[in-house]
Amino acid sequence: MGDYFLQQVVNALSAGSLYALMAVGLAMIFGILRLINFAHGDLMMIAAYLAAFSLGAGLPLQVAVPIMVAGTVLVALLMERIAYRPIRGAPDVAMLLTSFAVGQILQNGTLLVTRLADKPQQIAFPSPPGLGGVTTIGPITVPQVNVISFVVGTILLALLTIFVTRTRLGLSMRAAAEDLVAAQLMGIKVNRVVATAFAIGGALASVAGLLFAVQAGQINPYIGFTPVLKAFIAAVIGGFGSIAGAVLGGYVLGFLEVFATALAGIGDLLPPGSVPDPVREFLQQWLPSSLASYRDAFVFIALILVLLVRPQGILGRRDREDTL
Amino acid sequence: MTGERRLAGPIVAVVASAVLFTLLDLSGQAFWQGLVINLAIFIILVVALNLTSGFTGVFSLGQIGFMALGAYVSAILTLPLREKGNYLPNLPGWLAGVHLDQTVGPVPIGFLVATLIAGLLVAAVAWLVGRVLMRLSGHFVAVATLGFLVIVRVVLFNADSFTRGSRTFSNVAPYTNLWWAGAWALLAIYVVWRLKRSSFGREMFAQREDRVAAQAIGIRVMEPRLLAFVVGAFFSAVAGALYAHFITSFSPTVFYFDLTFRVITMLVIGGMGSVSGSVVGAIAITVLAEGLRRIEDTTLLYGMSQIILAVIFLFIITFRRDGLLGGREIALDRLFTPGWRERLPWARAGGTTPPGSPGQSP
């Protein structure tokens, strides 16, 4: 039982790291532009394809990763320049819908490219050496990629914190998030700040994409949709627009998800004798293992509850415009 | 005098579509009939979304969830008794005995009842959901309603005994024909048009333009939003029922983001807030998508048509955010009244401005 619990903690930390990596990108861009960039998930998908093609061509991981990151950052910068800059300052919903259109273009563009390259729509992800396999920590055995996700996630998020608190560009970014117009009046080059946010978001999303693809084992052009929704939920839980909030929200969501799933079917899992029989029967009846497949529904109900009860999230500030 | 003239435009439009439908029905051209039925279903969806989102500014992405519920509820209700036994063996007793497959002469009256039940049931669901979600604004309501869409999908995939889960739900009777689809589309257009001109409609537009100012002069916010959400959900469910009995086999995967985005594209291209714009948008995109699909089938460049539609969407939202009609109406009721020439949507000078023409609040 203790081992099972520990294993779930590792899973939760790993899932939480991926959500945090995605949510931070969303939160940075939202903080500056008030744009919910739904195409963020498709950056992750493009990274997975770039990695799959590079690794498939026989390149070692040390070469494939830089190609992947550079390619994804390029796509992120292009989408900002082509699609989002012309409508900067438009109503919220117009920007949100634009990001849907960008997502459609990226997904179907990938579909078209795989088609032209004579590849099937769904491809197996070539598990690179050093990322696949399992590892043993004390009494438990977990997939190695879960541990790597947590370690890499923590390092990258620490680097990001240093960047936004200790560098000039990071400071400009926080100023722009505080008040875009005032920042511009103070001589901050907003275009550069926005491009930086997209570049960093793209780089973090690309790493998340690689880790996600290794965990999933196969990729298709639509894998970005669910993660970006989850990352959005994470960002809302933490407090939208705040980087620290996004990280916290990512881990909270990771734990919520893993433990909600583990809780379904708990009645069958508890060792005999540990609980009285009526309790076990009650658990088996009300928390059957079949509930686990409803996980995504519960996650969204949690989101709606947060939006209603505390729309500013755990760390965010109240924005009066957002609710009645 | 003017009263008669006001009726002339709509009557001409209804008679013209009736003649068109009769010709199409007699021609036996299955492809064109299918295209027009498809178009009618999309018109219902876009008009309903326009009411829910365009009129009120509360952008809902959950509409296709209501459509999915409507499709499944009506399909379960119309399934004949003997097929129900083999097909959905685990239905609870009170539902297993229901079979709305009765016909009176050539009219499938059971289908009409099933459609109405599905619509009212979904409207009730929308009322419950809307009471909670209509408090939100901006992109938060968009994402919360997107959450509703995901929840519906998860439930449809997992409620095996009602929906067969991820397996295809087939054997639905092909009740939907030109006349059913056309009549429902006309009804949807009529109801939404009347709502726009009602005091409820004006409240919707007023609170969309400036919520605080509207509240300050005593205009309600919650009630018009909720009404728009519930009526929109009713017609979305009707569209779902029509779709189910047109396509005759479907699975939960159909009712998801691609369809949502398709309907939004039609709405934005036609112009939010304009009922005639919705019809124009639905026609334009349905025809364009069909043409592109044929090119795609011959060139095998799958994905290309979606890219082209998304690029068009980007251009519209960047350079002409109020849509092709700019939020104005092709006012059928004033088509034959004096001075109609100045009221054409492309005649910029003169003419009365319908409520809420400046698209969205700044």
Say yes or no: B143 contacts chain A, CB-CB below 8 A: yes
Which residue is it, tokens 């009765």? Answer: B102
A197 burial type by CB count under 10 A (0-12 exposed, 13-18 middle, 19+ buried): buried
Task: Give the pLDDT of residue A320.
Answer: 45
Chain B residues whose beta carbon lies within 8 Å of the beta carbon of residue A93:
57, 59, 138-139, 142, 360
User: Hey, what are A49's tokens?
Assistant: 């394809």
Phi, psi for residue A124 in degrees, rounded to 5: -75, 140
Q: Is residue B355 part of a domain?
A: no
Closest chain A residue to B258, measured at CA:
A104
3-state helix, strand, coil in chain A (%, to 5): 75, 5, 20
Q: Do B306 and A108 touch (CB under 8 A)?
A: yes
End-to-end CA distance of chain A: 46
User: Hey, what are B268's tokens?
Assistant: 């934005």
Say yes or no: B144 contacts chain A, CB-CB below 8 A: yes
* Residue A236, CA distances (Å) to A19, A177, A309, B97, B144 in order: 12, 16, 12, 45, 11
How many other CB atoms are there within 10 angstroms of residue B60's CB atom? 32
Closest chain B residue to A91, measured at CA:
B362
Which residue is it, tokens 């009740």? Answer: B175
Which residue is it, tokens 């509930």? Answer: A291
User: Hey, what are B349's tokens?
Assistant: 């000078």
Q: Is residue B346 part of a domain?
A: no
Q: Residue B131 in 3-state DSSP? A: helix
Q: Residue B132 in 3-state DSSP? A: helix
Q: Is residue B92 part of a domain?
A: yes
Task: Give the pLDDT of residue B184.
Answer: 96
Q: How many domains does chain B divide into?
A: 1
State the complex-level ipTM: 0.86
HSE of A301 in the Cβ direction (CA atoms, 13 Å)?
12
Chain A residues whose beta carbon lies within 8 Å of the beta carbon of residue B268:
97
Q: Do B303 and A108 touch (CB under 8 A)?
A: yes
Q: Is residue B349 part of a domain?
A: no
Task: Give the pLDDT of residue B361.
Answer: 38
Low-confidence winner among A22-26, A202-206, B178-182, B346-350 (lowest mean pLDDT): B346-350
Q: What is the DSSP string of A152-200?
A: HHHHHHHHHHHHHHHSHHHHHHHHHHH-HHHHHHTT--HHHHHHHHHHH
What is the C-alpha separation between B206 and B106, in angstroms, rounded?
A: 46
Q: Do A323 and B137 touch (CB under 8 A)?
A: yes
User: Residue A124 gets which letter from DSSP?
Assistant: E
Strands A140-143 and A134-137: antiparallel
Task: Give the pLDDT of residue B1.
Answer: 45
Q: Percent of chain A beyond pLDDT 70? A: 95
Q: Which residues fall within 8 angstroms of residue A172, CB to CB, at 6 or more apart? A: A183, A188, A189, A192, A193
Chain A residues whose beta carbon lies within 8 Å of the beta carbon of residue B264:
97, 100
Q: What is the CATH number of the domain that holds B172?
A: 1.10.3470
What is the C-alpha separation between A236 and A300, in angstroms, rounded?
A: 11
Amino acid at A24: V
User: Hey, what are A58's tokens?
Assistant: 């026989």
Q: What is the DSSP string of A46-76?
A: HHHHHHHHHHHTT--HHHHHHHHHHHHHHHH
Domain residue ranges of chain A, discontinuous segments joined by +: 2-322
Low-confidence winner among A161-175, A230-244, A258-272, B30-44 (lowest mean pLDDT): A258-272
Task: Give the pLDDT of residue B2.
Answer: 53
Phi, psi for residue B48 in degrees, rounded to 5: -65, -40
Q: Which residues fall within 8 angstroms of residue A110, CB to CB, at 6 or more apart? A: A42, A45, A46, A49, A221, B303
pLDDT tens for B271-287 read: 999 999 999 999 999 99
Q: Residue A143 in 3-state DSSP? A: strand
Q: Residue A249 in 3-state DSSP? A: helix
Count contacts between A and B (CB, < 8 Å).
132
Q: Is residue B153 part of a domain?
A: yes
pLDDT tens for B51-66 read: 999 999 899 999 999 9
User: Hey, what are A17's tokens?
Assistant: 């790291």
**A210 to chain B nearest CA, in Å?**
24
Four-way CATH pick for A2-322: 1.10.3470, 3.90.70, 1.10.540, 1.20.120: 1.10.3470
Residue, of A182 and B348, whose pLDDT is higher: A182
How many degrees, rounded to 5, is the angle at CA A43 between CA A39 and CA A45? 110
Q: Residue A270 in 3-state DSSP? A: coil
Please report the beta strands in chain A, taking only residues with DSSP state E, as ranges in sequence order: 123-124, 134-137, 140-143, 218-219
Chain B residues whose beta carbon lies within 8 Å of the beta carbon of residue A104:
261, 306-307, 309-310
**B346 to chain A nearest CA, in Å?**
23
CA dihedral in degrees (B49, B50, B52, B56; nearest 10)?
A: 150
Q: Residue B89 in 3-state DSSP? A: coil
Q: Is residue B226 part of a domain?
A: yes
Q: At what angle do helices B222-247 and B30-49 cross, to 10 degrees?
A: 160
Chain B residues whose beta carbon lies within 8 Å of the beta carbon of residue A239:
none
Amino acid at A269: L
Task: Give the pLDDT of residue A318.
Answer: 55
How many other CB atoms are there within 10 angstroms of residue A132's CB atom? 14
Buried b (16+ CB within 10 A) or exposed e, A76-94: bbebbeebbeebbebbbbb
Note down the domain range covering B134.
2-338
What is the C-alpha separation between B164 and B251, in angstroms, rounded?
A: 9
Candidates B132, B138, B306; nearest CB to A321: B138
How many other CB atoms are there within 10 angstroms of residue B326's CB atom? 18
Mean pLDDT of A122-142: 80
Task: Give the pLDDT of residue B353.
Answer: 46
What is the distance of C-alpha A25 from the center of its chain? Answer: 8
pLDDT at position A230 over 80:
yes
Q: Is residue B357 part of a domain?
A: no
Q: What is the mean pLDDT of chain A?
A: 87
Q: Does residue A19 contact residue A231 with C-beta atoms inside 8 Å?
A: yes
How many degrees, rounded to 5, is the angle at CA B202 between CA B200 and CA B206? 120
Task: From first to last of the 362 residues of chain B, give the pLDDT tens digit.
Answer: 456 677 777 888 888 888 988 888 888 888 899 999 999 999 999 999 999 999 998 999 999 999 999 999 999 999 988 888 888 888 888 888 888 888 888 889 999 999 999 999 999 999 999 998 988 877 788 888 998 999 999 999 998 888 888 889 988 999 999 999 999 999 999 999 999 999 999 999 999 988 899 999 999 999 999 999 999 999 999 999 999 999 999 999 999 988 999 999 999 999 999 999 999 999 999 999 999 999 988 888 888 899 999 999 999 999 988 888 877 888 777 666 666 666 666 665 444 444 444 443 33
What is the C-alpha separation between B157 and B256, in angstroms, rounded?
A: 12
Rg of chain A taking only CA atoms, in angstroms: 21
3-state helix, strand, coil in chain B (%, to 5): 70, 0, 30
How many residues are present in chain B? Answer: 362
Q: Does residue B271 contact residue B277 with C-beta atoms inside 8 Å?
A: yes
Q: Is residue B343 part of a domain?
A: no
Q: Is the dihedral of CA A243, A246, A252, A255 positive or negative?
A: negative
User: Residue B198 gets which letter from DSSP?
Assistant: S
Chain A: residues touching B (Cβ < 8 Å): 36, 83, 86-87, 90-94, 96-98, 100-102, 104-105, 107-112, 115-116, 225, 229, 232, 236, 290, 293-294, 296-297, 300-301, 303-304, 307-308, 311, 321-324
Chain B residues whose beta carbon lies within 8 Å of the beta carbon of residue A26:
none
Q: Does residue B63 contact residue B267 with C-beta atoms inside 8 Å?
A: no
